Structure 1
Amino acid sequence: MTTIDKIAWIHVNNGQILCARSKGQESYYLPGGKRDPGESDQDTLIREIEEELSVQIEQDTIHFFGTFEARAHGKSEDITVKMTCYTADFSGILRPASEIEELAWLNYKDLHLVSQVSQLIFEQLYALKWLE
């Protein structure tokens, strides 16, 4: 079994969560990505969000939300993804950058548009009444 270790940003506003879609892909995911060697979770979050969304995470507002694991989207059955999620405030204007083609505000009814691990996160956010 292979596990892909990712860090993700949970940013909810008015009952919707910010998601991204990469160029050439159909499904959406929570912004973030894989850590570089020696990077902490916080360093990874700050770097990935700036690369993907053109905004700066405010380091002193980063809070652990949870870790979720499921089969990796579009990969063989023996590959899972472990997504460690954080909330945080940011400064700047959200704009897709790097490999990101589109940003979208999704809610619980959009569950079918996201990967299995993101569905678990959506379920948790819905149970907490963060998502509509």
Structure 2
Amino acid sequence: MSTRNTAAAPAAAAGQDGARLLRASLRVDGWGTAAFGVVMLAGGGWLSGPLGLPATWFVPIGIVMLAGGVALGLIARRPRVQSGAAVAAITANVLSGAVILPLAVAGVLPLTNQGTAFMVVGALWVLTFAALTAVGLRRATAASR
């Protein structure tokens, strides 16, 4: 007769699935954020007109996005993703979305239709990854309790 706790197996599997989702969401978010940063850095002069964003915004935003992408990649590469680092990534994404979305639709910037779409897509990106990372973190930590 086996004395293994069979109830623990589904919880462990759920925790592993949560950890995989957490790591994957951080990794994809990191690559996407870094790519966005490169686009902002490389295309700033060219994109300003079509998007209606001030040209002076592209370099600082590009640098921050590139650094953020690298940070997300480093967090995802750790043997165990630390809860605090995941919460920081979630918080940064939620705050970014909370700033970008109102700016995109409030009419305070001279955005073109393409610029509005660009910013709305960016806001949806960060909010989606905030949610995916939060779900992964919740699943990973719930199984370890």
TM-score by length of 2: 0.23
Structure number with greater Rg is 2
TM-score by length of 1: 0.24
The structure with the largest helix share of the pair is 2
Higher relative contact order (CA 8 A, sep 6+): 2
The structure with the largest strand share of the pair is 1
